Amino acid sequence: MRILKLSSETKRDLLNDLLKRSPNNYTEFESRVGDIIAAVRERRDEAVFSYTKQFDGACITSKNVKVTEDEIKEAYEQVDEKLLEVIRKAKVNIKAYHEKQRQYSWFDSEENGIILGQKVTPLQTVGVYVPGGKAVYPSSVLMNVLPAKAAGVKRIIMTTPPGADTKVYASTLVAAKEAGVNEIYKAGGAQAIAAMAFGTESIPKVDKIVGPGNIYVALAKKAVFGYVSIDSIAGPSEILVLADETANPRFVAADLLSQAEHDEMASAILITTSDKLAEAVSAEVRKFTAELSRKDIIQKSLDHYGYILVAESMEEAIEAANDIASEHLEIVTKDAFEVMTKIRNAGAIFIGEYSSEPLGDYFAGPNHVLPTNGTAKFFSPLGVDDFIKKSSIISYSKEALRPVYKDIVQFAECEKLTAHANSVKVRFEKE
């Protein structure tokens, strides 16, 4: 990994490099995605099945698009018992964490007849997209479904691309069943997003779509936003490790590579106050990369988006970390909790040398669906809040309205909205 002195110039160049990975920069795919969405809106099932044959090689029809209970039972027979046990342990942790995020309706009343409040309502139907193809992500099933369940969503449907044999990954089906998905459909890519956004004869329309995917999925979610809600338009994975001379270079290198292996556009950054640690981590990265199964992907990721930045002080390092606003931030310093209090922008914060990033990906409980590409400055991890909506409650008695109605009239007339003013005045016209 390249080692650079942290400066305003190196930080600016790094931020510019990272922004190049945003899905918003891949406009050349937007017209193709737009064509797919338009076709699904017009031809519905027919278009979804045609694209599934074209892209996935699977012959899907209205008779086999929905995963059956027999297929789920078969999946349980195929999944290793030890994996099933791990899925169930992770489910307990993820469920418990998100249940603590629940919000409740509230009302305040006054003696003069004013009642104000907020009504919290779960979304009715949520769609979860789960990638297929070259990778299988049962962990993403749990992370997207369990917060919706904790929020009280009654109907959760899932779409995922089938293989050419029309089958869905067994571990994906098992995770979906364990998490409480109501219906599973065999559809992937932009066509699945369009189907959930607008509905087809077979796939129901949803209120919100969540879940990761490739650039076509990301752009499709962007295109249907407004017709339905979405979680976010996620970019490639990223990790930033903030470390001082007390950090174990072998641990740090391993953690950096845990994200670099995701894809060639993943970002792995170390910011440290120690020249010695920087050199040691770079050496460990070279050793690990030579041994790991995805070394070609890792090397391309590091060549393009891997950095080791050496800062003059921890304050300078923290400032840079806040400017980068990484999806995953590990703090491995002698005063890690004190450093954490100074972090303003990060998707998930991992504190201490035994809190490695995969702990959050799979098991600890907090969500691994996190803001990327600097959006941690204004977005949060996926959670229960993403699956509820809030309605304001306002109730005034006549006695409560009487002393303030002229104030409301004055405001309305100031804005030249005479019908607004009249709506209040009419209630006291006989007085």
Q: Taking a C-beta distance cutoff of 8 angstroms, is the pair 270, 309 a contact? A: yes
Select from 339, 332, 292 the least CA-distant residue to 314.
339
183 classed as catalytic: no
Helix (H), strand (E), coil (C) string for the chain: CEEEECCHHHHHHHHHHHHCCCHHHCHHHHHHHHHHHHHHHHHCHHHHHHHHHHHHCCCCCCCCCECCHHHHHHHHHHCCHHHHHHHHHHHHHHHHHHHCCCCCCEEEECCCCCEEEEEEEECCEEEEECCCCCCCCHHHHHHHHHHHHHHCCCEEEEEECCCCCCCCCHHHHHHHHHHCCCEEEECCHHHHHHHHHHCCCCCCCCCEEECCCCHHHHHHHHHHECCEEECCCCCCCEEEEEECCCCCHHHHHHHHHHHHCCCCCCEEEEEECCHHHHHHHHHHHHHHHHHCCCHHHHHHHHHHHEEEEECCCHHHHHHHHHHHCCCEEEEECCCHHHHHCCCCCCCEEEECCCCCHHHHHHCCCCCCCCCCCCHHHCCCCCCHHHHEEEEEEEECCHHHHCCCHHHHHHHHHHCCCHHHHHHHHHHHCCC
**Would the CA dihedral through 69, 97, 238, 24 be positive or negative?**
positive
Identify whether 110 is a catalytic site residue.
Answer: no
CA distance linking residue 315 with residue 341, whole number of Å = 12
Rg, Å, the chain Cα set: 25
What tokens appear for 45 in the block? 């099932």
Catalytic position from the list 178, 328, 330, 357 = 328
Q: Which residue in 178, 327, 353, 357 is the catalytic one?
A: 327
Catalytic residue numbers? 327-328
